[in-house]
A and B are shown apart, each in its own frame.
Chain A
Amino acid sequence: MKPLIHLDHIQYTSKERTILSVPELSIFHGEILGVMGPNGAGKSTLVKILSCLQAPTSGKIFYNGVEVPAGNVSLEQRRKWAVVLQQTLIFDTTVFQNVAAGLKIRKVPKAMIKEKVEYWLEKFGISHLAKKNAHQLSGGEAQRVNLARALILEPEVLYLDEPFSALDYPTKVRLIRDFSSILKETSTTTVFVSHDISEVKFLTDRLAILKLGEIIQLGFTAEVLQTPHHEAASFLNEMTLNLE
């Protein structure tokens, strides 16, 4: 099977230090790829490079078998992807306008924007906040706005960098269930960064463990979690430590 996205010898270095080094990574159409790893492992960097928001120092990115010019991706191409960044950066305007932002950028007719925004606000349980200034939201509310703002674009590829980290548990469970069915229904190719094993278990098909900028293990999620390699094992072990 031909991969939808393929990384070829991607390196990202800053001031002599290698932040990310991925000799090879293929992401297939319709799959959900989980990415786990300790703080500073390079997960967010990987997401930004995959989504062409940040140019790698060296290496090539292929999309549908065609090389994507790093740092100079066509607008048409960029508009097929949506990204939820780790930092929730919400515009200083209403929740409605925030969720509508990407559609307005695409010059979608007003009536259709309204319809779609209302649908997604409902889906994320934030309809009652539509007219509120987004800078007055709680962390979890802001994160839902951030998610709605990306999903409303109905992207071909979705990049999610710890999108549920600020949500309360019941909301998280409900959203992940919804999410899973939406993603499968629309067969949206997804890269999902998370620190939560149960999220990853439930949502992802394959899992990559990242450490010090390198993918130390990649495979079907269940397999990786069941039989992790040496280094991955110690990381996953620490993840399940409890405080007592």
Chain B
Amino acid sequence: MEVKPKSACDTCAHFNAAGLKKLGVDTSSFDHVIALAGNPNTGKSTVFNALTGLRQHTGNWPGKTVTRAEGGFEYNNEKYKLVDLPGTYSLLSTSEDEEVARNFILFGKPTVTVIVVDASRLERNLNLVLQILEITDRAVLCLNLMDEAKRNDIEINTRTLARDLGIPVVPASARYNEGIPELIQTISEVANGSIVCKPHRIKNIPKNIEKAVEDLSVEILKEYPDMPNSRWIAFRLLEGDQHIINLLRTGEFEEYIS
């Protein structure tokens, strides 16, 4: 298992405070693109503000952010462009309100996707997390709102969680800047490949669907041998997603995976 559970990490590199520079809106010549994804109202914009020093509007209701925002930070001499996205419940839908976020997660080619979740509502948040893990193998789970989880007496074992999801898990309370240094460190390690993720794949699918997905992804892999997320493409084709079908038809697809 290559994944190091962050919370109990004794040996891994420590946060280098001197190496951090918040760059605000300056996103010129970046080395990595980091997407902030997650359900609505989980604190994505708050995390974004903590990392970039910007003041993206936050508010305690789902749907506060509706357009995507960009900002940057520099850590250990590498520049990161951070993209704050509107909240989404799912990548499987085609609803218009979630289009901006869905498209960026699927086609924006972020180096690392940081999935911000509400620690006290982990189960429902995992719906999106598991979907994202189907399409990317560079992700970090930011277990935000830990203070609220504590207030609700909820205990989370980040070590087993990281093991089951196959990605690093960082507990945080973004509003109080807790866990942000660890988050930056983890992001940089995933971006540089010193942490290699082995994302969870959805298991509890009925046999006939599993088989259909298998068959289709074999065909897709024949055509595009390097496709990292053939299973996801298969899911979308089975769903009849016109967007994906068009991409396949027009061939723009190749661009998207290369």
State whether these chains interact: no
